[in-house]
Chains A and B, each alone.
Chain A
Amino acid sequence: AQSVTQPDIHITVSEGASLELRCNYSYGATPYLFWYVQSPGQGLQLLLKYFSGDTLVQGIKGFEAEFKRSQSSFNLRKPSVHWSDAAEYFCAVDPSGGYQKVTFGIGTKLQVIP
């Protein structure tokens, strides 16, 4: 079955430490890939997206993600986490290449400790 998997439900990191959030998908072809962030009580904000081309994509707020076709992964990274990064992060996939709805992973809740 087609799916989006975020294996880590909760992650806790210290402020200033590096961060990697995992996302795997299972679709036949390379889908469009997205990472969204949802701060407490807020709507969803797009961090970055991958459609094609360079497999390392830069996003807002210092985030980047790397698409690895061989691993069917699209992991989100940040070299140094700030306390304001505490939020829930959703990986999302559009298998159609831009013409259908986006399907979301279960989300990873990030806690940042001083």
Chain B
Amino acid sequence: SAVISQKPSRDICQRGTSLTIQCQVDSQVTMMFWYRQQPGQSLTLIATANQGSEATYESGFVIDKFPISRPNLTFSTLTVSNMSPEDSSIYLCSVRGRLQGFDNEQFFGPGTRLTVL
């Protein structure tokens, strides 16, 4: 399976600040996604990170609030901007389509647990 690491694993932030979460995969993948899991909820897709172009955002999520970068096939970042307590969630990086794996599984990172005070 793909091994995905996320940094930081958790953070406590003040409202109005921004946090950038990093996602690193151990192999090249075609697709990278960012999900949010609010307390006691299911996973909601924020956006698909596209290499070399702007991310594709789901309804209800905008680039100004959640800017995403994907400079290559193994790395992506998600920034949560101008945070409020409502942004307190677990943010998960997910990948699919390993170039060397020829599989269709979707793998998930361990998540970043964010608390906004």
Contacts and interface: CB of A to CB of B under 8 A. Distances in A.
B31 A104 contact: no
Nearest to B1: A46
B2 to A, nearest CB: 11
Interface residues of B, number: 20
A49 B106 CA distance: 10
Contacts of B104: 32, 49, 51, 94, 98
A105 B110 contact: no
A46 B33 contact: no
A73 interface: no
Interface string B83-106: 000000000101011000000111
Interface string B27-61: 00001010000000111010010000000000000
Counting chain A CB atoms within 10 Å of each CB, the highest count among B92, B96, B97 belongs to: B96
A107 B96 CA distance: 21
A90 interface: yes
B45 A44 contact: no
A102 interface: yes
Contacts of B94: 101-102
A93 to B, nearest CB: 11
A105 B42 contact: yes
A92 B48 CA distance: 17
B67 interface: no
A36 B94 CA distance: 13
Given A94-B106, A101-B33, A101-B96, 5 more contacts: A42-B110, A43-B111, A44-B92, A94-B104, A105-B42
Interface of B: 1, 31, 33, 41-43, 45, 48, 92, 94, 96-97, 104-111
